[in-house]
Amino acid sequence: TITVDVSNLINPDSRSVVIQVENHTSTTHISVNAWKYGTPESWRGDMSGKTQLWALIPLDDNQRFQMSSSNWTGLDMWIMGYGGREVAGFPALTPVTPSVNGVWETKTVPAEAIGAKAALVTIVNPHAAKHWDIKHPDSTDNFYSNSYAGWVCALVGLNASGQFKIKVEEKASIHAYLLGYITGNDVFIHINNLAIPDPPVNTWTPYIIKHLAANPNLAVLRSLPSGGTSCFSARKGNSLRDIQRGGNNGIYFYVHCNPGYRVDLRRLSTYYHYKLAAEIQ
């Protein structure tokens, strides 16, 4: 286990960070865990091949979190964004896996999280290309997505009763767990993910994130469908660094906006599309 101190990298009032972990070993199986400092492990992913994992991790009062890995060789990690809002974590992983194949099922968060705007859900998919989907209970979106990497961290909107919907193609192959929840009037969930005009192929294209939030700092993007290495790219607006070089980690991107509420997007072919799932001030 290692302790990661990000106090010298982020604003002093930040309570959470978005991290990306990438495995360069190509074939080696690696398990990765990350959690708020001093709390039970609450985020985990299995990385096989050239795989990327994203997660939104709460920080302690000294802006620290902890990580462990079965093999650190070949792993890289980046801080992708940060915010003043803490993600309130559950004491332990709470299973929310559907019990029926191919059917939308309604799940309810524990009582402590009812009233929250969104829940953070991890979906573990041991087998490649098995389909799953997750949405706000009032959403009319109805599509599956592939998750080739076997693991993804999704942010899903909740209604006033603390409910959301989830659907899987094969329940024996996919497991879902609640990691935490976000409260507050500055969390804006798009009940139906907002379609973003398609950027030209292989061209960085600016996009302004300012639909429900007046001053968004963080955008949650959804890529459709999931793809292999370099299918999707997203970065903070006008950044010189490509902060997401592959879509094979799943279908959710957590992208920091620049002061002009801008992110830059790029896609590999006309087959891939983006939607905006949420904005956080």
One digit per residue, the tens of pLDDT, for the chain of length 281 reads 899 999 998 888 888 887 877 777 766 677 777 788 887 766 666 666 556 676 777 888 999 999 888 888 878 888 877 766 666 666 566 889 999 999 999 999 999 889 999 988 878 776 666 888 899 999 999 877 776 655 677 889 999 999 999 999 989 888 888 878 888 888 899 999 999 999 999 999 999 999 999 999 888 888 777 666 567 788 888 877 655 554 444 456 777 788 899 999 888 889 888 889 999 88
The boundaries of the domain holding residue 203 are 187-280
Last residue of a domain, one of 141, 160, 184: 184
Q: In sequence order, what are the beta bridge partners of 154?
A: 121
What is the pTM (predicted TM-score) of this model?
0.81
CATH code, domain with 145: 2.60.120
Q: Do both 220 and 164 map to the same domain?
A: no
One-letter identity of residue 113: A
Measured CA to CA, the distance from residue 133 to residue 147 in angstroms comes to 10
Q: Do both 151 and 204 map to the same domain?
A: no
pLDDT for 62? 95
Q: Which two tokens stand for residue 114?
A: 């009812």
Last residue of a domain, one of 184, 219, 254: 184
Q: Do both 192 and 137 map to the same domain?
A: no
Q: Do both 196 and 248 map to the same domain?
A: yes
Q: Which of 204, 174, 188 is nearest to 276 (CA)?
A: 188
Last residue of a domain, one of 67, 86, 105: 86
